[in-house]
Amino acid sequence: MQGKTVLVTGGAKRVGAAICRRLHAAGANVVIHYRSSASEARALCAGLNEQRTGSACTIQADLLDLAALARVVEETVQQFERLDGEARWLGREVGSLRDLDVVANDMARREAETHPDEPGLSALADVVARQARERREQLRKLLAGARVQAFLIDLARFVETRGWLVAQDFGQTERLAAPIAALARQSLNKRWKKTAKHAQGLATLTVEQRHELRKELKKLRYAVEFFCSLYPAKRIDPFLKRLKKLQTVFGDLNDAATMKALFTATDIPGADAPSVQRAIGWMIGASQARAELGWIGAKALWKDLEQTRPFRK
């Protein structure tokens, strides 16, 4: 159910509320319909949003009224599908260029400079750089196109009209008026708990579990950097320093996976020359060796991060 949106009619109490909780726990966004149980619906909505921000809302309607039924469906769709799909699409398009740039400039070029006796490495860097330039031109045209411009207009409209507000959620004004320090503490504690949960049994994590932990570490760092002005630098800097060291390990793991995917799943013009093929094998092997070597110290780095004085309390 991850990422799906579910409308639960009569979802404010008893069986309906239980269904809402179960679907929400499975990763779904939940729209809680009610006819007259407003206080129960709002309380349930607030509890679910506390667990996962922006994941639940309420809609009031008498479903015996066919016009009201149509409105419920329309509001459900609008609530959670406004900009999400287009933002994900644009992120994928830009991300493909990022991968090519990293491989060409940060990885292949570095190996070529370290091992000048391997001419295939320099040739490989040139091949991927050429592919990146072509992709950059394609992306420029894409960004100037109608689809992206429409997305930007919709995004501006969303911001200007405060599109994140839910008309039926009367508790949101109080939450928006809460002191930023309280929100920061709550948000950072929530991010830390999620990260710590994914880090359990760190030494035995599978490749997929390492990837999930990498994403949680990235979210944690973004949150810390967003709220850092609220805390003294001498308290927050040690935590950030240790977090960045751990992220480097996971960054190497991600770069190794990106490299392998790029060269095994993508047809790159000019990459079929024997010397370039040898360089591809070299790059995949070197990136995986570097990632595994870094992983040896991951457990100690995580322990250092855990033992850092909590700055957010």
What is the model's pLDDT at position 243? 95
Examine residue 131 and state whether it is found in any structural domain, yes or no: no
Examine residue 44 and state whether it is found in any structural domain, yes or no: yes
For 45, half-sphere exposure in the C-beta direction (CA atoms, 13 angstrom radius) is 28
Q: Which two tokens stand for residue 78?
A: 């609008």
CATH assignment at residue 188 = 1.40.20.10
The residue out of 46, 66, 81 marking a domain boundary is 81
Count of Cβ atoms closer than 10 Å to residue 28 Cβ: 20
The residue out of 81, 98, 127 marking a domain boundary is 81
Examine residue 226 and state whether it is found in any structural domain, yes or no: yes
Examine residue 119 and state whether it is found in any structural domain, yes or no: no
Kindly state whether residues 182 and 303 are assigned to the same domain.
Answer: yes
What is the model's pLDDT at position 63? 63
What is the model's pLDDT at position 68? 53
User: Residue 81 to residues 69, 94, 151, 217: CA-CA distances in angstroms?
Assistant: 19, 21, 13, 27
Q: Give the separation between CA 251 and CA 240, rounded to whole angstroms.
A: 16
Kindly state whether residues 65 and 186 are assigned to the same domain.
Answer: no
Q: Which two tokens stand for residue 295?
A: 């992983």
Q: Is the dihedral of CA 85, 88, 94, 100 positive or negative?
A: negative
Phi first, then psi: what are they for 86, rounded to 5°? Answer: -70, -35
Examine residue 68 and state whether it is found in any structural domain, yes or no: yes
Examine residue 290 and state whether it is found in any structural domain, yes or no: yes
User: Residue 213 to residues 88, 148, 193, 194, 295: CA-CA distances in angstroms?
Assistant: 20, 31, 12, 9, 13
Examine residue 95 and state whether it is found in any structural domain, yes or no: no
The residue out of 24, 51, 81 marking a domain boundary is 81
What is the model's pLDDT at position 137? 92
Q: Are 283 and 263 in contact (CB under 8 A)?
A: yes
Provide the domain limits for residue 274: 178-307
What is the model's pLDDT at position 215? 92
Kindly state whether residues 303 and 186 are assigned to the same domain.
Answer: yes
| The overall pTM is greater than 0.75 | no
Cα-based angle 105, 270, 285 (whole degrees, multiple of 5)? 55
Q: Are 24 and 32 in contact (CB under 8 A)?
A: no
Q: Are 59 and 67 in contact (CB under 8 A)?
A: no
79, 35, 25, 39: which is closest to 57 by C-alpha? 79
CA R_g for the chain: 24
Residues of the chain below pLDDT 50:
66
Kindly state whether residues 187 and 76 are assigned to the same domain.
Answer: no
What is the model's pLDDT at position 244? 94
What is the model's pLDDT at position 178? 81
- Domains in the chain, number: 2
Examine residue 33 and state whether it is found in any structural domain, yes or no: yes
Q: Give the separation between CA 115 and CA 117, rounded to whole angstroms.
A: 5
